[in-house]
Amino acid sequence: MTHFDLFSLRDVFADQGVMICFNGPFSHSVIEELGTAVRKYLESDAAPKDRIADVFAVFVEQAQNLKNYTSNRLFAGAEDGRFRHGTLVIARENDSYIVSSGNLVGPEDVARVKTAIESVSGLDKVELKTLYKQRLRTPVEPGRGAGLGFIDMARRATAPIACSFRELADGNPLDHEGLSSDGGLPAGTVFFNVSVFI
Amino acid sequence: MESLSIKSGVSSPSVDFDPETGLLRMGGESYPENSFEFYTPIIAWLTGYLSDVTHPVRFLVELSYLNTSSTKCMIDLLDQLEAGFKQGVKVSVDWYYDRDNERARDTIEEFREDFTMPFNVIAREG
């Protein structure tokens, strides 16, 4: 038995201005509970209503994306369900709030996420609005996202969306978590990390 | 026609559509687990209702937040109302928002831009 050192974890959170963090499998009820907590926290932080609305909306889009991508059928085989886990953090840095999430994205979804991110990068607010309204009128397959999430996040953001895709090859830094390809992870899976500043 | 009534949840809106009075209300927040599943029967009810309604229809909305997939569904719902309006039904939309939340107003204004039916965006105290 190892005593779990939460003190050092708290230090990391404090250093990075973390207000709320959740790590684990995301269900819809987790999203509802966490969302309620996020809102209450921001209200107690005396954030203006517009700001709270933006942080909450970015939280919902990220959390629902995270849940959708980690529901990948290819991740179902993992013995301990860890492939389905995601991490979501809400932090504050000076006058900005940061909503950040990290999760695995299966090989067949990687291109979709990259395209979605690329489609909003470099666009100004007017161009984002045009793209958003155009996409609102584009039919989508039932059960799939509307393809609007990243556009909505970019519109609410005060700085460009930051993201990274980490390839998970043998010997990668996540190996110690048992996430190597011979641990049952589908080849081509990446760890996707996105941060939105509001 | 039966009325349509759905109780609100943490992430799903209340729906109260009364075919007798023509008052169709929605309120609360909308980020359900599956927006398409939630909105499909609502839109189907509305389409049926508008096909033979003879009195004015008022859509009264008090939704404070819609996620992106709900927004997409809401466009489909408003499209049905607009189609009814163009066929001669007396349709109006009254959408309320908290005056301290400018972002909510912007979202509703963006809906309004796409339609010709009477569409009021109304501020009130949160």
Q: Give the start-to-end residue ranges of the domains of chain A.
A: 6-197
* A68 near B CB under 8 A: no
Tokens of B85: 């309006």
Of A53, A129, A133, the CB nearest to B65: A53
Determine which of B103, B106, B113 to mutate to test the interface with A (most A C-beta atoms within 10 Å).
B103
Per-residue model confidence (pLDDT) at position A176: 44
Cross-chain Cβ contact A49/B34 below 8 Å: no
Among residues A131, A55, A62, the alpha carbon closest in space to that of A97 is found at A55
Per-residue model confidence (pLDDT) at position A60: 97
* A152 near B CB under 8 A: yes
* B10 near A CB under 8 A: yes
- Give CA–CA dist A59/A36, Å, rounded: 11
Query: Which of the four pLDDT bands, split at 50, 70 and 90, describes residue A84?
Result: confident
Question: How many CB atoms neighbour CB B68 within 10 A?
Answer: 24
H or E segment at A36?
Answer: helix A28-44
Complex ipTM over 0.85: yes
Strand B91-98 relative to strand B119-124, pairing: parallel
Task: For residue range A162-181, list pLDDT tens digits in order.
Answer: 999 998 765 454 544 555 44
More confident residue, A198 or A3: A198
* B34 near A CB under 8 A: yes
Cross-chain Cβ contact A49/B98 below 8 Å: yes
Among residues B106, B116, B113, the alpha carbon closest in space to that of B81 is found at B116
Question: Which residues from B are below 8 Å from A133, CB to CB?
Answer: 110, 114
Of B35, B65, B69, the CB nearest to A57: B65
Q: Are B122 and B94 in contact (CB under 8 A)?
A: yes
Per-residue model confidence (pLDDT) at position A168: 78
Q: Which domains does chain B have, with CATH numbers?
A: 4-124 (3.30.750)
Q: Per residue of chain B (126 residues), give pLDDT as tens.
A: 899 999 999 999 999 999 999 999 999 999 999 999 999 999 999 999 999 999 999 999 999 999 999 999 999 999 999 999 999 999 999 999 999 888 889 999 999 999 999 999 999 987
